[in-house]
Amino acid sequence: MDFLTVLQILDSTIRLATPLLFACLAGLFSERAGIFDIGLEGKMLAAAFFAGAIAYTSGSVWLGMLAAIAASVILSLIHGLASITFRGNQLISGVAINFLAAGLTVLIAQDWFRQGGRTPSLSGDARFNNIQLPFAETLEPVPVIGPIYAELISGHSFLVYVGLLSVPFTWWLLFRTRFGLRLRAVGENPAAVDTAGISVIRLRYIAVLICGILCGLAGAYLSTGLQAGFVKDMSAGRGFIALAALIFAKWRPWYALYATLLFGLLQAIAIRFQNVDIGTFTVPVQFMEALPYILTVVILAGFVGKAIPPRAGGEPYVKER
């Protein structure tokens, strides 16, 4: 395997890891506040559809991104209403959101565009174009450093860089601010937070809203950055992989980056090396496509170790009278 092939695989890794990273950070905020959210998949899917649909209709990828965030936030508020206000089962609420998004996106897409549940292809200003960083062309001929900067670091879309910058921002917000301390405390001991005169419900709703915004960015990237439009079930289990990455990362932002890059690498390898020949035997393409999901289960089963979620996670808070 030559150096250029390695760079191409790593470049694909970053692109494929970006929606996983957004969704993983979304789950991180929600679960740190004590709200388990397996509806990440549904929020990403709804966001992807509305991003593609509005971007195509308006010709503006920015309006598409705002529509994606709005759709995801609405679903997040529904989840918050069910699990925080009405103290319903958080897992059932998340499953319901996944089913709702999977059905409605195809139904609305077929009604609007008549293309079998997909949106028309996006082009021009309706997509996020790649950004060339300063001096990328100048440094490209330089051995090793040039290709790494020009091919791997430069040339990604706007949301890729937003995703990468979200990691240190999330770390700072959660571990270096008063808001972050309170948010983490709500997920560990909400009664103590309430005793201090801080609203548990308000903090949990804020966490759910942040989760919705990040899932909206993940979905927008899927349909307007990674691909050129929405297709049925295009999230393809990424929400569940993001949850697996979150457990693997043990609810920490920097570990979340490493975990999502690992899963992105697995996907990049599966896409790059299809129909692999091993002697006289050819590995089926279906096996390579399933490999990231298989390794997700293997990693969670054998390599995570003891991952302790927030103690109050999944439990509705009832204020003592």
pLDDT tens digits along 275-287: 666 666 676 777 7
User: In the predicted model, what is the mean pLDDT of residues 155-174?
Assistant: 95
Structure tokens given for 278 = 């091993």
User: In the predicted model, what is the mean pLDDT of residues 11-19?
Assistant: 94
Structure tokens given for 238 = 């990424």
What is residue 279's predicted lDDT score, i.e. its pLDDT? 60
Examine the pLDDT at 201 and tell me if it is beyond 80: yes
Q: Is 313 helix (H, G, I), strand (E, B) or coil?
A: coil
- Return the minimum-mean-pLDDT range out of 38-52, 112-126, 201-215: 112-126
148: Cα within 13 Å, side-chain hemisphere = 3
What is residue 171's predicted lDDT score, i.e. its pLDDT? 96
What is residue 298's predicted lDDT score, i.e. its pLDDT? 76
E strand or H helix that includes residue 169: helix 158-175
Residue ranges per structural domain of the chain: 3-302
What is residue 18's predicted lDDT score, i.e. its pLDDT? 96
- Is pTM, for the whole model, over 0.85? yes
Residues above pLDDT 70, as percent of the chain: 93
Q: Of residues 114 and 274, which shows the higher confidence score? A: 114
Q: What confidence category does residue 309 fall into, taking pLDDT thresholds of 50, 70 and 90?
A: confident
- Return the minimum-mean-pLDDT range out of 25-39, 168-182, 245-259, 278-292: 278-292
Four-way CATH pick for 3-302: 1.10.3470, 1.50.10, 3.30.930, 1.10.720 = 1.10.3470
Query: Residue 80 and residue 209: Cα distance in Å, rounded?
Result: 9
Query: Residue 225 and residue 232: Cα distance in Å, rounded?
Result: 16
Structure tokens given for 165 = 């910058």
* CA dist list (Å): 31 to 81, 96, 280: 16, 18, 48
Query: Residue 141 and residue 102: Cα distance in Å, rounded?
Result: 47
Amino acid at 46: A
Comparing C-alpha atoms, which of 291, 309, 302, 188 is closest to residue 241? 291
Q: pLDDT digit string (tens) for 242-272?
A: 998 898 888 999 999 998 998 898 888 888 7
What is residue 284's predicted lDDT score, i.e. its pLDDT? 73
End-to-end CA distance of the chain: 66
DSSP count for the chain of H helices, then E strands: 13, 4
Query: Residue 285 and residue 79: Cα distance in Å, rounded?
Result: 38
| Contacts of residue 106, Cβ cutoff 8 Å, sequence gap at least 6 | 117, 232
Pairing type for strands 130-131 and 281-282 reads: unpaired
Q: pLDDT digit string (tens) for 83-139?
A: 999 988 999 999 999 999 999 999 999 999 988 889 999 988 999 989 888 888 888
Q: What confidence category does residue 310 fall into, taking pLDDT thresholds of 50, 70 and 90?
A: confident
What is residue 278's predicted lDDT score, i.e. its pLDDT? 63
Q: What confidence category does residue 47 fall into, taking pLDDT thresholds of 50, 70 and 90?
A: very high
User: In the predicted model, what is the mean pLDDT of residues 227-240?
Assistant: 91
What is residue 277's predicted lDDT score, i.e. its pLDDT? 63
User: In the predicted model, what is the mean pLDDT of residues 287-305?
Assistant: 71
